[in-house]
Copies of this chain bind each other. A is one copy, B any other.
Amino acid sequence: MGTSSLFDVSFSSGIKTITMKDTRSRNALSLNMQKELYKYITADWDDKKLRAIVLQAEGPAFSSGHNLKEFNFDTNDKSLLEEVFKMATKLMLSITECPVPVIACVNGIAAAAGCQLAAQCDIVVASDKSLFSTPGVSVGVFCSSPGIPISRTIPRKLATYMLTTGLPITATEAKSAGLVSVVCPEDQLKGQVEKICAAITAKSRYVVTKGKRFYYRQIDMTMKEAYKIGELEMIERISESEGQEGLKSFIEKRKPNWKHSV
């Protein structure tokens, strides 16, 4: 699928695996790194063979966050900063908009925008040696944008603790707090990710895509509003050929023959 100095990207059995490998910078999300990652995440959205994306990293850091050297400047020209954060928003929202689940596989420290990157993914699997932190405040850059997905997945008292002190939490604490979907010993990490990927690839891509979209659409609504659109969503999906095939396969006690589209 292509590699660069910053990434290895492979594609096998429906899973695109994106490996950050800029270990020298602890996988800092420089503008170039962000652009490449955005490119790898958003490529192949129309390829029905793409069923999930796994985002992982080489080295002791999942990602250390933005490249602080890009923030340090003496002129009044904010154009680089603007480009960096416009790209960051674009990258983060692309994960949510991606038609297939994006799974962060964290085996080390996920800091600042690196923690944001993990928190933005749909599913987070982490080894129990991993750490999560938002230490930007220590260098004068409060992790306000990392706080956006983090504060939408962990409780307020822990989010404000992490953001104002910069102190890390462990993977076990992150699991308890909701930032991590599955925590396990390092030697089981690959197996856990494979189990999740196998579960997802056994489904209809079309059904997963529609389901993911509905999930994020309803999450900011009141419960009543969500139920109103939920009824229609269920009826439409069930009536379509992919829903009907799934139901028939169940009743006929056979494996479904997904078309992965309708």
> Residues of A at under 8 Å CB distance from B?
68-69, 71-72, 78, 81-82, 85-86, 88-89, 92-93, 96, 101, 119, 121-124, 137-145, 147-149, 151-161, 163-167, 175-182, 195-196, 199-200, 202-204, 207-208, 210-212, 214-215, 218-220, 222-224, 226-228, 230-231, 233-235, 237-239, 242-251, 256, 258
CB <8 Å contact, A204 and B140: yes
CB distance from A214 to the nearest CB of B (A): 5
CB <8 Å contact, B215 and A256: no
User: Which residues on B sit within 8 Å (CB–CB) of A219?
Assistant: 151, 156
CB distance from A111 to the nearest CB of B (A): 13
- Contacts A/B (CB < 8 Å), 29 sampled: A72-B244, A82-B235, A85-B230, A85-B231, A86-B231, A93-B223, A122-B160, A138-B202, A138-B246, A140-B237, A140-B242, A141-B207, A141-B246, A142-B208, A142-B237, A144-B214, A144-B215, A145-B233, A151-B218, A153-B157, A156-B178, A158-B181, A161-B196, A163-B211, A163-B215, A164-B203, A164-B211, A165-B196, A165-B199
CB <8 Å contact, B122 and A164: yes
CB <8 Å contact, A199 and B140: no
CB <8 Å contact, A226 and B178: no
CB <8 Å contact, A234 and B141: yes
